[in-house]
Structure 1
Amino acid sequence: MDVLWMMPLLLVPLLLWTSSTFVFYFKKCFYVAWMMCLGLIGIPLSILKSGGRDIENMRVIRFLVRHVKYFLGLRFEVSGLEHLQTAGPYVIISNHQSSLDVLGLMEILPDRCTMVAKKELVYAGTVGIICWLGGIVFINRQKTHDAKTVMVGAAKTMLDDQIRLWVFPEGTRNQRGDLLPFKKGAFHLAIQAQVPIIPIVFSSYSNFYLRKEKQFKSGTITLKILPKIETKGMTSDDVSPLCDKSYDLMRSAFLDISAPVTQSNGPTRH
């Protein structure tokens, strides 16, 4: 009987060593479960810190999440961090490849910054609750009118409360080796509030994370923070040119930083 109990303990490390598919599902399940546990810890901490929903709770979330990269064998190389030292409100835009983007986001998240996310996230158990407590702005992607109304309110909140907002202008996850066309909500938001846009580019995950092929290895993610783009004096007529300019800059940076990198067999530390 003792031997039977030991079999699963021996089988797991064997599969981790020999099966890339098992590693993929093991890491994915661990990531989701661990984030749920961190949410459970973060909920009372956030309530004690701020008494409820408050953007300052993003400090709690950032503190709790930043170590997760080590468990998944990921490290981040960041350039252009000085561009986030811009005073006052601004809109951050970045490409969106998977839920792993959260780890990069928390790596460089400036103070008084929260996210714009899909409404469905609020129902994701403890993660949804902690996101709500962190002041994340939820939009219904299926109802354009509702999303626009939320963005109008977000612009006012940015100025009244002096906050920053992180938006994924592609609107959905994308692992096609390029950027999807940008939706214009973030650019309407920035122009309405007359605040700068700061583009941030995540390098391609394809050298370590392939969802269809069920591969999830150790790897390095490059984060490139580009100089701010001013919107003062712009009007709604400038939304499309601003969107196109931002897209071209980010696509160029994405292709530049997404060259293959050497992989390691185990977790790498940063």
Structure 2
Amino acid sequence: MPGLVRSVLQHIKNLYGIKLEVKGLENLDVKGPYVIISNHQSSLDLMGMMEILPDRCVAIAKKELMYAGTVGLVCWLAGIIFINRQKKTDAKSVMTEAAQTMLKENIRLWVFPEGTRNHDGNMLPFKRGAFHLAIQAQVPIIPVVFSSYNDFYNRAEKRFTSGKCIVQILPPMETRGMTTDNVPDLTERARNLLMTTWNEISAPILKMHGAQ
């Protein structure tokens, strides 16, 4: 199914003239399971996600996305695991089971730690599930940052045109030897890293379009 989704998204990119520039692809060359975390600006994240999605990698997203029409269908076809974030027991059980499955079946997971879409780029506080998961499984976290979409998409202006997005893959963050006590610090460090990177790769785009 991911192959079908890639084909559909490639058609959309070609139709609208959207170019994705991937940087740091070598950072995904990690053997074994790991957790990918990325910022979440809109449903367009699927384009960057499918551009670099590693083998044996599935995503975790909030259940509400399943009912988002065409986007929900595409997410389902892409094999995304939906969880009910309103129920802490549901979210925790999914994360615990995911950690066990990662190790047993050598699977990678993609998580959007903001939990919901954030259109203005100023990242929301990160939820800690992905970090608990990575530490529980003792696997690395690989941060991925999508630059501002303002070059080709602006929700307020109802603008969707041609443009460019940078997909920056950062070096893995190790969790070996960490415990649940390290989760708050790891979460904050990861958020600061993604936010700093987003500002760096988005600055030329925002300047070009006069965004603050």
- The answer to whether the aligner puts 1:115 opposite 2:62 as a matched pair is no
Conserved? CA contact 2:41–2:121, under 8 Å: no
Q: CA deviation at 1:130?
A: 6.1
Cα offsets for 1:134-154 (capped at 9, x unmatched): 542211022122111111111
The secondary structure found in structure 2 opposite 1:75 is strand
Conserved? CA contact 2:152–2:160, under 8 Å: yes
Partner residue of 2:17? 73
Alignment RMSD: 2.0
The secondary structure found in structure 2 opposite 1:77 is strand
Q: CA deviation at 1:173?
A: 0.6
More strand by share: 2
Conserved? CA contact 2:18–2:152, under 8 Å: no
Q: Which amino acid aligns with 1:252?
A: T
The secondary structure found in structure 2 opposite 1:120 is helix
Q: 1:152 to 1:198 in 2, by over 3 A?
A: same
Q: Which runs of 5+ in 2 are unaligned?
A: none
The secondary structure found in structure 1 opposite 2:204 is coil
Which one scores higher on RCO, CA 8 angstroms, separation ≥ 6?
Answer: 2
The secondary structure found in structure 1 opposite 2:43 is coil
Partner residue of 2:154? 210
Q: Which amino acid aligns with 1:244?
A: E
Q: Which amino acid aligns with 1:214?
A: K
Q: 1:142 to 1:201 in 2, by over 3 A?
A: same
Distance 1:134 1:149 in 2: 22
Partner residue of 1:58? 2
Q: 1:127 to 1:216 in 2, by over 3 A?
A: closer
Conserved? CA contact 1:58–1:114, under 8 Å: no
How many equivalent residue pairs? 207
Which segment is superposed worse, 131-140 or 147-156?
A: 131-140
Distance 2:161 2:190 in 1: 31
Q: CA deviation at 1:60?
A: 4.2
Q: CA deviation at 1:121?
A: 3.2
TM-score of the superposition, structure 2-length normalised? 0.89
Q: How do 1:1-20 residues align onto structure 2 when only pairs under 5 Å count? A: none
Partner residue of 1:158? 102
Cα offsets for 1:99-126 (capped at 9, x unmatched): 1110110011111111001213334567
Partner residue of 2:117? 173
Q: Which amino acid aligns with 1:201?
A: V
Q: How do 1:1-270 residues align onto structure 2 when only pairs under 5 Å count? A: 57-124=1-68, 128=72, 131-132=75-76, 134-261=78-205
Distance 1:157 1:250 in 2: 27
Distance 1:177 1:75 in 2: 19
Identity %: 61
TM-score of the superposition, structure 1-length normalised? 0.71
Q: 1:63 to 1:178 in 2, by over 3 A?
A: same
- Structure of higher CA gyration radius: 1
